[in-house]
Amino acid sequence: MAALSYFSSPNTFSLQPQLNGQMGSSSSLPTRYNYLQQLHAPINRQIPTLRFSVRPICASNSDRPSAAAAKPPATTEAPSLPIRKIPGDYGLPFIGPLKDRSDFFYNQGREDYFKSRSLKYQSTVFRANMPPGPFIASNPNVIVLLDGKSFPVLFDTSKVEKRDLFTGTYMPSTEFTGGYRTVSYLDPSEPNHAKLKKLLFFLLQSSRDRVIPEFHSTFTHLFETLESELAGKGKADFGGPNDEACFNFLARAFYGVNPADTKLGNDGPTLVGKWVVFQLGPLLKLGLPTPVEDLLLHTFRLPPFLIKSDYQKLYDFFYEASGPILDEGEKMGILREEACHNLLFTTCFNSFGGMKILFPSILKLIGRAGVTVRKRLAEEIRTAVRSNGGKVTMKAMEQMQLMKSVVYETFRIEPPVPLQYGKAKKDLVIESHDAAFKVKEGEMLFGYQPFATKDPKIFSRGEEFVAERFMGEEGERLLKHVLWSNGPETENPTLDNKQCAGKNFVVLVARLLVVELFMRYDSFEIEVGASALGSSVKLTSVKMASF
């Protein structure tokens, strides 16, 4: 979502105008093999904008990395490493993509699909096919990037085009979005991109005073619901109540409207879920019998008319709720209808969808981190809140170093959007840690982020959740390798880049979830399963706050 940044005002979001700019030698085969084994261990235009930014973990401004240090590793046209032909192939037409699709979803699964090919080719850069392939995607051929050095080329819009690549090698029908290509599918070179992204910045800026109180209110109700279910059944599923809380929070924080008081009622999360599945079905594994699932989801597109009435209900809600935002859009030269479809997409697909995946990950990783970590979080969070008048404020959260590190570590381990794409605008040379590779204009680049952000040449114990990883000076230097937002954590979204407009908003709500958890509980126990969009988490016990 947007350029949300916070400054040091003790009790409120503080908005200030800021100028946002655009944001070795060859290894031997055994060395490359050891590196790959580690990596795959089991499993410029200056535009003034108003923003509130999330501070990194540091003691003072002098501790912050320089602008040069914050930039992603650059691809270079004059590589210092030896040029290597990109290994791998796409197989026979039609047959190769079908085989790779079967491996990706059923024979190997996503992690092993990339791991096995990386080990086979002794390279973190190789050629492969990405689903869905026939008959949904006309060209499934990609160059895969799996390490933290090559991956950031996907953020460089001077080198890669982002037009219609939000979902990868195929694009869902615009009938799902009222006939409009929403901002997520636009390249920054397209005129509408800057206007629509600016509208999202305005949405966030206008909602700044509602975020903390609405989050507290909504998620207090969530925890009460979970505690009641836990008392009655012995365990409580986090998923459904979390979906309802996230949707209600976003509606109340962004638009000042409670969905339950409108015609939409409590149907929002269900309608959004169906709408998202119809668009992302070609990339999902729902657990149906393989022949049925492959034919239903991965071979042919699901027709938009089946959910047209559901989408209309969502559209009507957003059109009625977002009047002042639509008025602002008109001043920017955006049609009200187009603005509304973009607000719906951003709120439901990007923000709600991201929270739906991210929040269970936070519970899962903290729940597995051990009692000591949970005790430290409870002590740190309550001490900071107590020293700031007993209220959760921006200033209080800035003092919670462990909490902030835990949130960044969650983004590193389980980024909500793990797949990134970009099409080469020109002939390029891309470097991994071991070699350089020539890429031709028009070739599709694909990055699988969970491998890049666990790169053992960047992160020690990269496969492990290390709660304090991003604390201190050394930890802060690692933030430039946290890439979940379609850009480094040390940079911010601008009108000219494709970094998530709400990058800092998402970090903020993730922090708020951890704070609310440990203001309420000393500890909790969980049961974890899998879901189509991440993890399924059930609470099996909670220990209420005792100090």
Distances (CA, A) of 251 to 223, 224, 244, 263, 272: 19, 20, 11, 14, 13
Decide: helix, strand or coil at residue 305: helix
Please list the alpha-helical segments (H only) found in 370-455. 371-386, 394-398, 401-413, 449-452
Contact status, residue 218 vs residue 533, Cβ threshold 8 Å: no
Of 453, 441, 411, 477, give the one whose Cα is nearest residue 150.
453
**Beta-carbon neighbour count of residue 49 at 10 Å?**
21
Q: Which long-range contacts (CB under 8 A, 24 or more apart) does 400-403 make?
A: 400/511, 400/515, 401/57, 401/471, 402/376, 402/377, 402/467, 402/468, 402/471, 403/377, 403/511, 403/514, 403/515, 403/518
Type of residue at 364: K
Establish whether 340 is an annotated binding residue.
no
Give the C-alpha distances (Å, rounded to integers) separating 121 from 81, 100, 116, 126: 18, 16, 9, 7
Strand 436-439 relative to strand 428-431: parallel, antiparallel, unpaired? antiparallel
Binding site residues for heme, as ranges? 500
